[in-house]
Amino acid sequence: MDKQHCHKASRTVEVTVLSAENLRLDRKSVKKNTYVVVRADPLNSGSTRADFEGGSSPSWNEKLTLDMPFQTRFISLEVKCRTGSGDRVIGTASLPVSDILGDYTPESHLHFLSYRLRDARGERNGIINVSARVKMPVESVGPPTTKNSVGYGCSSSWQQPTLGVPVGHRKNYYGGVVTGVPVWI
């Protein structure tokens, strides 16, 4: 890490592409050779292997780890099919980062999500099932505590506060985290 900067410009996201359902290409069920491209931004993407057996309901169960810049608002999920005339897009979906990094769940919480795929014409074209989590950073950003040649530096002893409600009988024991979604009546 650059001595002049305490911030990492990105965080790591794990997206496990599980499966898809009801995939069609030119209004016909897909037979084979489907894969998924996951993009956090134009420079950070990953791809699954092709599924040769699942037909219109392929299964990958493949984990992709990407750097996700802090300003990223959506992760793109693009299902493609290899054909004799080249690779064709079956459908795309956008995974809002707010779905995996919201106010009510701690970082590193594993989310299981399903999204409607849309083809190039914007028509419904199947569903994609994924799980996703934002990994906790190895180095945390802390309060400025020491001066260096460009101003304030980072404290190496600062720790990110624990989120959640203490669970267990010992004081300050966070053996688990209780989460919930508020309900307004």
pLDDT in 10s for each residue of the chain, 185 residues = 444 444 557 889 999 999 999 999 888 888 889 999 999 998 889 999 999 998 899 999 999 999 999 889 999 999 999 988 889 999 999 999 988 887 677 778 899 999 999 999 999 999 999 999 998 665 544 444 444 444 334 433 334 444 444 444 444 444 444 445 555 55
pTM: 0.69
Rounded-to-integer distance, Cα 87 and Cα 27, Å: 17
pLDDT at 105: 74
Instruction: Give the number of C-alpha atoms closer than 13 A to the C-alpha of residue 24, restricted to the C-beta side.
Output: 12
CB atoms within 10 A of CB 68: 21
Radius of gyration of the chain (CA): 21
Query: DSSP secondary-structure letter at 103?
Result: S
Identify which of 65, 59, 66 has the alpha carbon closest to the alpha carbon of residue 34.
59
Over the range 130-168, which residues count as b (16 or more CB within 10 Å of their CB) and which as e? bbbbbeeeeeeeeeeeeeeeeeebbeeeeeeeeeeeeee
